[in-house]
Amino acid sequence: MLELLCSRRIDALKPVMEAEVKAAMRESYNLWLKKKNGFSEMNRWFGNIALNIMFQTVVGKRFFSDGDVNEENERIRKAFRELFDLSSSLAVSDCLPYLRWLDLDGKEKKMKRTAKEIDWFIQIWLEEHKRNRDCGSGERKQSQDLMDVLLGLVEEGEEFDGHDSDTTIKAMCLSLIMAGSDTTTRTLAWALSLLLNNREILQEAIKELDTEIGSERMVEVSDLKKLKYLESIIKEALRLYPPAPLNLPHESMENCTVGGYDVASDTRLLTNLSKLQRDPSLYANPLEFCPERFLTTHKEVDVKGQHFELIPFGAGRRMCPGISFGLQAMQLILATLLHGFDIVTNDGGPVDTVEQNIRAFPLEVILTPRLTSHIYVQI
């Protein structure tokens, strides 16, 4: 994972990220031109960009565009939507394991069907990558996606933990797509909801974008280091609503002592990140959305696993390897959106958020272009 997501490779992926964000902006602009009403559901809007970025990065393909209706893309979209829904839902047998054989809610059957469908597509992409690897003439493809990189790292026929190399590559690709898309989408949906409910903070963010970027072009990855207020908005959204509120489960490999507690081997550990990051002894007014804290009182606190009061990406050896990629993608998407469109909720009122369940309600807004038209057309 560290090899796959090292800074050299992330740098090489910048054009993919920029192209996807610009394509989404152009699509929304064209929709507004056609209807003069830029209605958008933002969970889907962010989700499409995040999924296209991850699919392009991992297998060099894009499937998630509302304007692109074709039978195969629709089948892929449906299978992945099912995968995300199933992976975050609870089955009866999770609570009553002895009833698993009955599959009372039909989840196991659905999981097997979805797994088969997704494996079918990934196998086709893997075969395609193997065929294209040497372009038939010993020449390598110019831009490598992560499946190409994995094919270069893993020997054909090599075994990993009892799994053959194809299964290992397919599983890693799927893990990357899942790990990178839902987390990014949720954080962006929370950040936008919080901004729409705190309009003075939204105005401050727009002011920073207008000052640093102007109105004659769109935001680029190279601008992000100048956008300190925007960075603090993302940090504050991750503090209040980490997309993995209990982190991933960790398990001790042997007996050990942590913070004075004896921990037996094979003990499962869940870390309550949400509680930690809202601890009143660490943050003043911990439930308030206040990005300024990361420019003042908590200026030195970053999300890179060194400051335990803010660890939305985990910490230590198994912390998220996609941290730089994820931060860059989220900042670019949010900055480009706020810079390119005026945003109000569908009914003009605040967003009616339900704690911790951003995906359960539609985040409906009206997007109105705020830059001159040639900027959306040129990109």
Cα distance between residue 109 and residue 179, in whole Å: 24
Q: Which stretch binds ligand HEM (CB under 6 A): 94-102, 116-124, 190-198, 311-319?
A: 311-319
Cα distance between residue 237 and residue 180, in whole Å: 17
248 touches ligand HEM (CB under 6 A): yes
366 touches ligand HEM (CB under 6 A): no
Task: List the one residue from 1, 12, 102, 269 that touches ligand HEM (CB under 6 A).
Answer: 1
Cα distance between residue 355 and residue 374, in whole Å: 40
- Residue nearest ligand HEM (C-beta atom): 322
Q: CB atoms < 10 A from the CB of 289, how many?
A: 20
Contact predicate 103/118, CB 8 Å: no
First to last CA, the chain: 33
* Interface mask toward ligand HEM for 165-194; x: CB under 6 A: ----------xx--xx--xx--x-------
Nearest alpha carbon to residue 376 among 213, 208, 218: 218
- Cα R_g (the chain), whole angstroms: 22
59 touches ligand HEM (CB under 6 A): no
Task: Give the residue with the Cβ less far from ligand HEM, 248 or 377.
Answer: 248
DSSP run (H or E) holding 261: strand 261-263
Q: How far is the CB of 176 from ligand HEM (least distance, A)?
A: 5
244 touches ligand HEM (CB under 6 A): yes
Q: Which stretch binds ligand HEM (CB under 6 A): 37-45, 194-202, 315-323, 344-352?
A: 315-323
Q: Is 320 annotated as a binding residue?
A: yes
Task: Give the residue with the Cβ less far from ligand HEM, 32 or 46.
Answer: 46
Q: CB atoms < 10 A from the CB of 144, how many?
A: 17
CA dihedral sign, ordered 293, 225, 186, 361: positive
Q: Which residues, other chains included, contact 138 with Cβ-Cβ below 8 Å and sequence gap of 6+?
A: none
Cα distance between residue 32 and residue 81, in whole Å: 26
Helix (H, G, I), strand (E, B) or coil at 288: coil
Q: Which stretch binds ligand HEM (CB under 6 A): 13-21, 190-198, 216-224, 239-247?
A: 239-247
Task: Give the residue with the Cβ less far from ligand HEM, 327 or 365.
Answer: 327
Task: Give the residue with the Cβ less far from ligand HEM, 213 or 227.
Answer: 227
60 touches ligand HEM (CB under 6 A): no
Task: Give the residue with the Cβ less far from ligand HEM, 118 or 177.
Answer: 177
List, as residue ranges, the binding site for heme.
320
Residues near ligand HEM (CB under 6 A) are: 1, 5, 175-176, 179-180, 183-184, 187, 243-244, 247-248, 312-314, 318-322, 325-326
